[in-house]
């Protein structure tokens, strides 16, 4: 139908609650030969399937196979990465010429309406109703997906939940086909399908006769029914899965605001759930951290920090910081930073165990929350790091302080030992905005440490964190003693780091302003202008964080970096 490769991937990725790699980029990752082999197997064996022809590899894929355009394994597929003078560039296959061209952004009017909508069902509803080419594509794709899924009931599975879980767990979808169909409205979509002459499987008519007219029904706050073998049966809980939405429906919310909630997850454990946009940390979440610590110390055995979002937290609310900085509201910024530092320190010194459950992107302020917690149970796929330098800032929620301490703790316990290697490790992790590619790698960065652990099953992450927290509580948990003597690298360390920054600028690896930010970061990491080996307190390092953060907020180039990141979604090297 004339859609470009970029348009297909734009319309079948995160917009529909599917992985960012969408359809054709995923094909490149898997390998076209593997994909065609799998689909051909289905085509050859599913001889009675009414949609059998869908599994036959199209002519374009046959041409690509013949030309060894198999994806990443041969260096070219639907996309091709090439190196030029300005760095790497991603090119896109032009099916008409079978040659590669520069990438083109997909431009549809409906995308501007749909992208800001966080609720997946509502977002997809808007896309399906759109009268442009994007709307036509999404409607046809999902209508066919819904009907085919319904037609397979009784063949691949008797119940809808098994199919939904297979698609969520196996393909990384946020919602399975029946969950999404319910979310966009079964009755409304079937009405349109009939009007367009589509064949409706009898099982869908049975669903439409039910009071809810949906594949899932909530019988009461504690029980959900699913359509199975022509009847509605109770949906069995997934072992080890803590469903925060179900618990909130059961009235287990202890306290909440727009950005976060405190949820009783049973057995004496309280969960602090973030639910702001992208789980960005603002005043709502900071206040709920404080409330969570207070509530846990008074009425619970342990606190777990986790959520069911796409990512644990992408960091602080950058827009709020930018607006305050533009207005010159330095006292407000200082107060916000102090409150965030107070919150992370409250987590660290809570009288009851606090366990963070990070997953996905855990960046900036989100990483600082994890550093503040006494323990962490991280999902295997956790991409965690302190990335503030990318927007012209430094971590100011205790991230610098905590990373210095963790690297110093890793040194041999010898009086008078040179702490510069520890300072350098912290400086490089923050200054280069290192982000772990897995939870395992986060141990090497000292973001995870000691008693922290990794959970391989993301659906069991909250449960694993809860078990860890309660085990700590029942062993007679005692909070750590405040640290008042942290050895720092001092003036000598700052000088060494400044020399390294100078060499990088002269080699054109960093800009002059990058050098300035790095110099300010070095002051924090090394404890300011003090002799090497001087021992300082946590509050002293936190004060340095605040001073540098405020200073950078007042510079034009940092404001430009923040604005560019918000607008373009990538760092500016000015």
Tens digit of each residue's pLDDT (9 = 90 or more) over 472-519:
999 999 999 998 899 999 999 999 999 999 999 999 999 999 999 999
Asked if residue 330 and residue 465 are part of one domain, the reply reads yes
Residue 222's pLDDT is 55
In a domain, 227, yes or no: yes
Same domain for 141 and 168, yes or no, is yes
CATH number at residue 449: 3.90.226.10
Q: For tokens 């990373």, what's the residue?
A: 403
Residue 32 maps to which CATH number? 1.10.1040.10
Q: Are residue 231 and residue 259 in the same domain, yes or no?
A: no
- Indicate if the pLDDT at residue 2 is higher than 90: no
pLDDT above 60 (res 20): yes
**Chain centroid to CA 508:** 32
pLDDT at 390: 95
In a domain, 173, yes or no: yes
* pLDDT (mean) for 213-233: 79
Please say if the pLDDT value at position 458 is more than 80. Answer: yes
pLDDT digits over 257-268, tens only? 999 999 999 999
Rounded percentage of the chain residues whose pLDDT exceeds 90: 88
Q: For residue 256, what pLDDT is reported? A: 97
pLDDT interval class at 120 (50, 70, 90): very high
Average pLDDT estimate for 152-161: 91
Tell me: do 14 and 38 sit in the same domain.
yes
Q: How many domains does the chain have?
A: 3
Alpha-carbon dihedral of residues 541, 544, 550, 552, nearest 10 degrees?
A: -110
**What local confidence, expressed as pLDDT, does residue 118 receive?**
86
pLDDT the model gives residue 416: 82
- Residue 221: the pLDDT is 55
Residue 536 lies in a domain: no
For residue 222 the two structure tokens come to 């504690």
Note whether 149 and 229 are same-domain residues: yes
Q: What pLDDT sits at residue 88?
A: 83
Q: What confidence score (pLDDT) does residue 246 get?
A: 87
Tell me which of 65-69, 170-174, 525-529 is least confident: 170-174
| 122 and 191 within one domain | yes
For Cα atoms 17, 23, 24, give the angle at the middle one, nearest 5 degrees. 150
In a domain? residue 542: no
Please tell me the predicted confidence (pLDDT) of residue 228.
Answer: 81
Do 341 and 289 lie in one domain? The reply is: yes
Which pTM does this prediction carry?
Answer: 0.84
Q: Which of 236, 271, 305 is the last residue of a domain?
A: 236
Contact assessment for residue 61 and residue 32, using Cβ atoms and an 8 Å cutoff: yes
Average pLDDT, the chain: 94
Count of all residues that appear for the chain in the document: 574
In three-state secondary structure terms, 275 is: coil
177-187 pLDDT, tens digit per residue, is: 999 999 999 99
463 phi/psi in degrees, rounded to 5: -65, -45
Whether residue 198 lies inside any domain: the answer is yes
The last residue of one of the domains, among 422, 450, 480, is 480
Give domain status of residue 92, yes or no: no
Q: Determine, yes or no, domain membership for 206.
A: yes
pLDDT in tens, 286-338: 999 999 999 999 999 999 999 999 899 999 999 999 999 999 999 999 999 99
User: Are 173 and 256 members of one domain?
Assistant: no
**Cα–Cα dist 323/317, whole Å:** 10
Higher pLDDT, 78 or 416: 78
Indicate if 371 and 446 belong to the same structural domain.
Answer: yes
Q: Quick one: pLDDT band at residue 223, thresholds 50, 70, 90? A: low
pLDDT for the residue numbered 52:
94
Same domain, 363 and 451: yes
Q: Residues 73, 149: one domain?
A: no
| 53 token code pair | 């022809």
Higher pLDDT, 204 or 236: 204
Contact in structure between 465 and 357 (CB atoms under 8 Å): yes
The C-alpha atoms of residue 412 and residue 401 are separated, in whole angstroms, by 19
Range of the domain at 354: 245-387+435-480
Same domain (yes/no): 313, 459: yes
Q: What is the mean pLDDT of residues 220-234?
A: 75
* CA-to-CA separations, 497 to 212, 493, 507, 513, 515, in angstroms, rounded: 65, 6, 15, 15, 10
Which of these three, 236, 257, 278, is where a domain ends? 236
Pairing of strands 382-385, 375-379: unpaired
Mean pLDDT over 38-61 rounds to 94
């Amino acid at each position: 139908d004339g859609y470009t490769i970029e348009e297909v991937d734009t319309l079948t990725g995160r917009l529909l609650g599917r992985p960012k790699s969408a359809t054709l980029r995923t094909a490149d990752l898997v390998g076209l030969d593997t994909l065609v082999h799998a689909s051909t197997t289905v085509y050859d064996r599913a001889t009675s399937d009414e949609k059998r022809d869908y599994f036959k590899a199209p002519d374009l894929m046959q041409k690509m196979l013949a030309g060894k355009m198999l994806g990443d394994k041969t260096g070219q597929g639907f996309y091709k990465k090439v190196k030029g003078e300005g760095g790497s560039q991603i090119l896109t296959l032009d099916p008409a010429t079978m040659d590669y061209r520069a990438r083109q952004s997909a431009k549809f009017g409906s995308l501007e309406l749909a992208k800001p909508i966080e609720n997946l069902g509502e977002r997809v509803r808007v896309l399906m109703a759109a009268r442009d080419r994007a709307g036509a594509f999404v409607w046809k794709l999902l209508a066919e997906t819904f009907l085919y899924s319904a037609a397979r009931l009784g063949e691949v599975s008797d119940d809808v939940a098994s199919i939904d879980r297979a698609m969520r767990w196996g393909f990384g979808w946020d919602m399975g086909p029946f969950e999404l169909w319910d979310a966009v409205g079964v009755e409304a979509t079937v009405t349109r399908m009939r009007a367009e002459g589509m064949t409706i499987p009898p099982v869908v008519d049975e669903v439409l006769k039910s009071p809810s007219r949906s594949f899932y029904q909530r019988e009461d706050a504690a029980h959900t029914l699913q359509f199975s073998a022509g009847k509605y049966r109770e949906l069995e809980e997934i072992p080890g899965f803590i469903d925060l939405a179900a618990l909130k429906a059961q009235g287990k919310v202890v306290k909440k605001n727009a950005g976060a909630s405190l949820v009783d997850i049973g057995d004496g454990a309280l969960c602090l759930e973030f639910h702001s946009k992208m789980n960005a940390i603002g005043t709502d979440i900071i206040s709920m951290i404080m409330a969570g610590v207070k509530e846990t110390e008074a009425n619970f055995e342990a606190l777990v920090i986790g959520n069911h979002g796409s990512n644990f937290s992408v960091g602080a609310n950058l827009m709020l910081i930018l607006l305050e900085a533009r207005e010159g509201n330095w006292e407000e910024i200082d107060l916000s930073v102090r409150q965030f530092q107070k919150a992370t320190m409250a987590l660290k010194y809570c009288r009851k165990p606090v366990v963070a459950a990070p997953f996905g992107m855990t960046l900036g302020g989100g990483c600082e929350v994890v550093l503040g917690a006494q323990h962490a149970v991280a999902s295997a796929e956790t991409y965690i790091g302190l990335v503030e330098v990318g927007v012209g800032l430094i971590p100011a929620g205790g991230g610098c302080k905590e990373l210095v301490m963790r690297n110093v703790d890793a040194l041999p316990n010898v009086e008078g030992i040179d702490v510069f290697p520890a300072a350098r490790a912290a400086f490089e992790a923050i200054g280069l905005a290192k982000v772990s590619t897995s939870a395992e790698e986060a141990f090497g960065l000292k973001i995870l440490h000691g008693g922290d652990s990794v959970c391989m099953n993301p659906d069991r992450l909250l449960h694993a964190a809860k078990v860890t927290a309660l085990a700590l509580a029942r062993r007679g948990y005692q909070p750590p003693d405040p640290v008042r003597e942290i050895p720092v690298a001092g003036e000598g360390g700052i000088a060494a780091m400044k020399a390294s920054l100078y060499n990088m600028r002269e080699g054109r690896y960093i800009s002059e302003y990058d050098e300035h930010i790095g110099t300010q970061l070095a002051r924090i990491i090394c404890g300011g202008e003090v002799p090497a080996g001087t021992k300082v307190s946590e509050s002293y390092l936190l004060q340095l964080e605040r001073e540098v953060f405020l200073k950078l907020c007042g510079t034009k180039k940092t404001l430009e970096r923040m604005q560019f990141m918000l607008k373009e979604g990538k760092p500016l090297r000015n």
